[in-house]
Amino acid sequence: MTTSVIGYPRIGKLRELKFAIEGYFKGDKSQNELLKIAQLLRKTHWQDQKQAHINYISSNDFSFYDAVLDTACLLNIIPARYQQLGLPELDEYFAMARGYQGEKGDVHALAMKKWFNTNYHYLVPEIEATTEIKLVGKKPFNEYLEAKQLGIETKPVIIGPLTLLKLAKLPKGQNYSTYIDVIIKAYQDILQQFAQIGVTWLQIDEPILVTDLTSQDIENFEKIYHAILANKQQLNVLLQTYFGDIRDCYQQVVNLPFDAIGLDFVEGKLTLELLEKYGFPQDKQLFAGVVNGKNIWRNNYAKTLALLGKIKAVTQKVVVNTSCSLLHVPYTLKNETKLTIAQKAYFTFAQEKLQELAELGQLFGQNDAQQHEAYKSNQTLFTREREGTNQAIREKVAALTQEDFVRLPAFAERESIQKQALQLPVLPTTTIGSFPQTSDVRLNRAKFKKGEINLEQYTAFNQQKIADCITLQEEIGLDVLVHGEFERNDMVEYFGESLNGFVFTEKAWVQSYGTRCVKPPIIWGDISRSKPITVEYSQYAQSLTKKPVKGMLTGPVTILNWSFPREDISYKDSVFQIGLAIADEVLDLEAAGIKVIQIDEAALKEKLPLRKADWHSEYLDWAIPAFRLVHRKVKPETQIHTHMCYSEFDDIIKEIDDLDADVISFEASRSNLALIDVLKANHFKTEVGPGVYDIHSPRVPSVDEIRQVIEKLLAKIDKSKLWINPDCGLKTRGESEVFASLINLVKATQDVRSEL
């Protein structure tokens, strides 16, 4: 059986691409140096796959920032404000990605959104009234030819027209259907160009097909593909879907003249059922996504071979495929020196998944598959009990009742008690928690980890940082302070390290957006807390000031969503285990005199199913209670904050309110404050801090700009419910831009207050 990979991680084994691009941003690297490194990485990634005997290897899965942005640029979807800067091509591209502030002008970045149900973020293409959609770029063609020159025949991959249009931001009042004809022409040109340069297989990604579609969407889909497949010449087209099943359009998809169709059998709950019910055309190939591209647990060969058997019973031409791009898993296990051999046996990252694909391809169809070494050693993992069970915690979770999820008294009563207790000015100002993680902060942590300094030295340094941070915030005039999170490498890893049940990697980075990567911990066993985690630093920070200092925790849903979850127990059981551990931490903070506690649920939406029908039953019914479990025992006067990155929760606004937090801060500036109307329409009870400027960009917002945002907010939100803050933590930003921004934030707030 042949094998295929939808896409490969592009950031590099050791994040080489990240460092090269950031070097270029800082001016330490020339464009030429950057291009060379990129080329070398592409070569390595292709060769990796070639050596693993993968038959269908992707090209154009490389990107300097994001593949959706690449596609927008390929098709000339470049808003005028970026063109007007008159920058060289690559710099214009980066201006769209991260904003630009310099001698050529001052523009914001494009909006950024979560890529389906992953922790990857794409840049939202923005079509303006004047945009002329047409093929102008060369990247996919060049990359195909580059691989070819290395002797590697690849299948270029591009994002499909329907996905692109449906994700794009359109001129006001427009429907994406308006663009069908121009997009058809543009993709016809793309296909023609591919055919011309000798491409034999093209992969077109249409993940949008796994979401809820209208009949209009399906009609558009058919219209687009009838047109662009009509004269594809000798080119073979693989329509690739992932992140779920295509229940809304299965029959239409299989009846179109594609040469192959890629379906996801890992996250696609109904994929097999659809296949068995409606069959599959015998003249097409089925790319069967059976190797999980999102999680790191080793594939269970017995199960997968049985699944492949069922698929083969329906159709003969089957290719073993990943379930989605391997972009969402780390690169290789090879650089992990601290995991035990026993642990490593359970994991596969991108490189190891290549071997899984190859082994599955070989084992399938062999009568004596079960006698093969590869099969036998794989099966030992699934037949023996794994270490890490904690019976006591399992019993606690099983014993939870309704009451364990309800905080009393109700919100309104708490709100007035808290206003009395805290005595904050109207429009209180605060930040989201972290302050810049300058190199000295990281160095201190690194030295401690390596044993070069002892605990006292390590702590003394952090305390000094905290003291400086408190002084600074007092000088700036913020109202609710933070300690700055200098002791934290990452908001999930930090907690994971202090809880039982997690294991950690050293180099297992996964791209989150642009050059930003995360290193998710692995939930290995049952979770429990053996001692307080954050209390000492919080208490120390509070001892330095009369103003309230927020205790800072990460919520259970985010810890789950930003870790690699277990596959042997349910998400619900896992998240309640974590919830119980964090709940103990909340009470310890309260007992230590902390009056405001923020429990971040930055990633609350991450695992929200793509289809509405599944939202409650498969997610919200345990995710919202998990948060409530964490704060339900605190005193009425203790103010519970939460923070969410990205404000895309229009559709779950009631559920967000139902977290029953006292205050919530979230990103808003980058999505044009669109959420605010929704808050109002829903009589949102929780107090809100919609971020008044975008911290994902190095721009410093002016006082005037922030004041205008605050005024817009005040037009929709009652002043008694409004907080003023940046839209996310400040740890990735430089000190000078952060200080300047916060000074402007406080000044703008004071100006507005004086006019209230």
Q: Determine which residue in the list 643, 670, 696, 699 makes contact with ligand GLN, applying CB under 6 A.
A: 643
Binding residues for 5-methyltetrahydropteroyltri-L-glutamate: 15-18, 114, 119, 516-517, 562, 606
Annotated binding-site residues for L-homocysteine read 432-434, 485, 600
Question: Of 624-663, which residues contact Zn ion (CB under 5 A)?
Answer: 645
Q: x/- binding map, residues 565-604, to ligand GLN, per CB under 6 A?
A: -----------------------------------x-x--
Binding site for L-methionine: residue ranges? 432-434, 485, 600
372 labelled catalytic: no
| DSSP single-letter state for residue 27 | T
The structure tokens 């702590």 sit at 459
How far apart, in whole angstroms, are the C-alpha atoms of residue 189 and residue 183?
10
Q: Which is nearer to ligand GLN, 49 or 434 (CB)?
A: 434
Q: What is the spatial distance between Cα 534 and Cα 485, in angstroms, rounded to a whole number?
A: 10
Nearer to ligand GLN, 516 or 611 (CB): 516
Would you count residue 728 as binding Zn ion (CB under 5 A)?
A: yes
Phi then psi dihedrals of residue 75, to 5 deg = -105, 20
| Residue 264 or 667 with smaller CB distance to Zn ion | 667
Question: Would you mind telling me the total number of residues written for the chain in this entry?
Answer: 756
The smaller minimum CB distance to ligand GLN, of residues 623 and 645, is found at 645
Q: Nearest distance from residue 730's CB to ligand GLN, in Å? A: 7
Least distance from ligand GLN to the Cβ atom of residue 493, Å: 12
Binding site residue list? 15-18, 114, 119, 432-434, 485, 516-517, 562, 600, 606, 643, 645, 658, 667, 728
- Write down the least CB distance from residue 611 to ligand GLN, Å: 26
Q: Other C-beta atoms within 10 Å of 404: how many? A: 17
C-alpha 653: how far from chain center: 20
Spell out the residues 6+ positions from residue 754 whose beta carbon is closer than 8 angstroms to its own: none
- How many amino acids of this chain bind ligand GLN (CB under 6 A)? 13
Whole-number minimum distance, CB 485 to ligand GLN, in Å? 6
In 3D space, the residue among 477, 496, 635 whose CA is nearest the CA of residue 561 turns out to be: 496
634 binds, among ligand GLN, Zn ion, none (CB under 5 to 8 A by kind): none
How far is residue 158's CA from residue 369's CA, in Å, rounded to a whole number?
A: 36
Contact pattern from residue 680 through residue 719 relative to ligand GLN, giving x for each residue in contact according to CB under 6 A and a dash for the rest: ----------------------------------------
Q: Tell whether residue 434 is a contact of ligand GLN (CB under 6 A).
A: yes
Q: Report the alpha-carbon distance of residue 248 to residue 76 in Å, rounded.
A: 31
What residues have CB less than 8 Å from 563, skipping those under 6 apart?
A: 492, 496, 502, 520, 521, 522, 523
**Residue 448 or 627: which CB sits closer to Zn ion?**
627
Interaction between residue 432 and ligand GLN (CB under 6 A): yes
109 or 645: CB nearest Zn ion: 645
Interface mask toward ligand GLN for 601-620; x: CB under 6 A: -x------------------
Q: Applying CB under 6 A, does 555 fall inside the site for ligand GLN?
A: no
Among 168, 253, 602, 623, binds Zn ion (CB under 5 A): 602
Cβ closest to ligand GLN, residue 432 vs residue 527: 432
Alpha helices, H only, 212-300: 215-230, 250-255, 271-278
Record the tokens describing residue 435, joined without a space. Answer: 């302050």
Angle at 80 between CA 77 and CA 83, to 5 degrees: 90
Among 491, 586, 630, 713, binds ligand GLN (CB under 6 A): 491
42 binds ligand GLN (CB under 6 A): no
Comparing CA positions, the residue from 381, 331, 376 lying closest to residue 353 is 331
Q: What are phi and psi of 461, to 5 degrees?
A: -60, -50
Point out which span in 206-214, 429-437, 589-597, 625-633 binds ligand GLN (CB under 6 A): 429-437
**What character string, x for contact with ligand GLN (CB under 6 A) and - otherwise, covers 723-742?**
-----xx-x-----------
# binding residues, Zn ion (CB under 5 A): 3
Counting other chains too, the contacts that 415-422 makes at CB distance below 8 Å and 24 or more residues apart are 415/662, 415/687, 417/636, 417/637, 418/636, 418/637, 418/639, 418/662, 420/637, 421/595, 421/637, 422/548, 422/595, 422/596, 422/639
- The nearest distance, CB 559 to ligand GLN, in angstroms, is 12
Residue that is written with structure tokens 């796959």 in the block: 49
The helix or strand, by DSSP H or E, that contains position 413, with its residue range, turns out to be helix 411-422
Distance CA 147, CA 153 (A): 7
The torsion of the CA quartet 330, 335, 337, 340, rounded to 10 degrees, works out to: 50
Element of type H or E holding 516: strand 516-518
Determine which helix (DSSP H) or strand (DSSP E) holds 585, and give its type and residue range: helix 571-591
* Residue 240 bridge partners (DSSP): 205, 262
Q: Where are the alpha helices (DSSP H) in 243-326?
A: 250-255, 271-278, 301-314
Our CB check for ligand GLN shows the closer of 9 and 433 to be: 433
Min dist CB 335 to ligand GLN, Å, is 25
Is 87:104 a contact under the CB 8 Å cutoff? yes
Q: Closest separation between CB of residue 470 and ligand GLN, Å? A: 16
Nearer to ligand GLN, 247 or 731 (CB): 731
Q: Considering only CA atoms, give the Rg of the chain.
A: 26
Candidates 36-44, 509-517, 557-565, 595-603; binding stretch for Zn ion (CB under 5 A): 595-603
At residue 665, what are phi and psi to the nearest 5 degrees? -110, 150
**What are the φ and ψ backbone dihedral angles of 263, each rounded to 5 degrees?**
-120, 150
Partner from Zn ion, ligand GLN, none binding residue 434, C-beta < 5-8 Å depending on class: ligand GLN
Question: 744: Cβ–Cβ under 8 A, 6 or more apart, which residues?
Answer: 700, 701, 702, 703, 706
Which does residue 510 bind out of ligand GLN, Zn ion, none, counting CB within 5 to 8 angstroms by kind?
A: none
CB of 559 to Zn ion, least distance (A): 15
Q: Which is nearer to Zn ion, 210 or 602 (CB)?
A: 602
Q: Which two tokens mark 330? A: 């780390």
- Closest distance of CB 588 from Zn ion, Å: 24
Q: Which stretch binds ligand GLN (CB under 6 A): 214-222, 350-358, 426-434, 652-660?
A: 426-434
Q: Considering the complex, what minimum distance in angstroms separates the CB of residue 244 from ligand GLN?
A: 26
Nearer to ligand GLN, 249 or 603 (CB): 603
Q: Which residue reads 């339900």 in tokens? A: 632
DSSP 20: H
The DSSP secondary-structure symbol of 297 reads: B
Q: Which residues are annotated as a binding site for Zn(2+)?
A: 643, 645, 658, 667, 728
Reduce the DSSP state of residue 264 to 3 states and report it. Answer: strand
Q: How far apart are the first and last CA of the chain?
A: 71
Q: How far is the CB of 597 from ligand GLN (least distance, A)?
A: 12
Question: Measured between alpha carbons, how far is 566 from 562 in angstroms, rounded to an integer?
Answer: 12
Q: Which residues are catalytic?
A: 696
Q: Which residues bind ligand GLN (CB under 6 A)?
A: 432-434, 485, 491, 552, 600, 602, 643, 645, 728-729, 731
**Chain positions contacting Zn ion, by CB under 5 A:** 602, 645, 728
